[in-house]
Amino acid sequence: MRITINNSCIGAGQCALTAPGVFTQDDDGYSELLPGREDGAGDPLVREAARACPVQAITVTDD
Ligand code: SF4
């Protein structure tokens, strides 16, 4: 799995709330991936987080 977060992120935080094992927010509130979780770590909530993002900033693709 490959996760990308594009620059349309507005820092709404839904991704970190939905899949806190993979997403976090940087000091400015923008989404980033937790170190070592760049591949989603098998977390089924990753796709839910992508759906929850209000600006569709998260893209999930399978390798
Ligand atoms: S839910 Fe979307 S807009 Fe909000 S922090 Fe995550 S990627 Fe950014």
For the CA of 14, the nearest atom of ligand 1: 1
pLDDT at residue number 63: 85
Phi-psi region of 26 (alpha: psi -120 to 50; beta: other; left: phi over 0): beta
CATH for 23: 3.30.70.20
State the total domains in the chain. Answer: 1
Ligand 1 centroid to residue 12 C-alpha, Å: 5
Q: What angle do CA 61, 26, 36 make, to 5 degrees?
A: 50
Q: Is the CB of 15 under 6 A from ligand 1?
A: yes
Tell me the two tokens of residue 5.
């977060």
What is the tens place of the pLDDT at every residue in 3-62?
999 999 999 999 999 999 999 999 999 999 999 999 999 999 999 999 999 999 999 999
Could you list the residue range(s) of the whole structural domain that residue 26 is in? 2-61
What is the Cα–Cα distance from 16 to 25, expressed in whole angstroms?
Answer: 7
pTM over 0.75: yes
Ligand 1 centroid to residue 1 C-alpha, Å: 19
H-assigned helices in the chain = 14-18, 45-52
Q: Is the CB of 19 under 6 A from ligand 1?
A: no
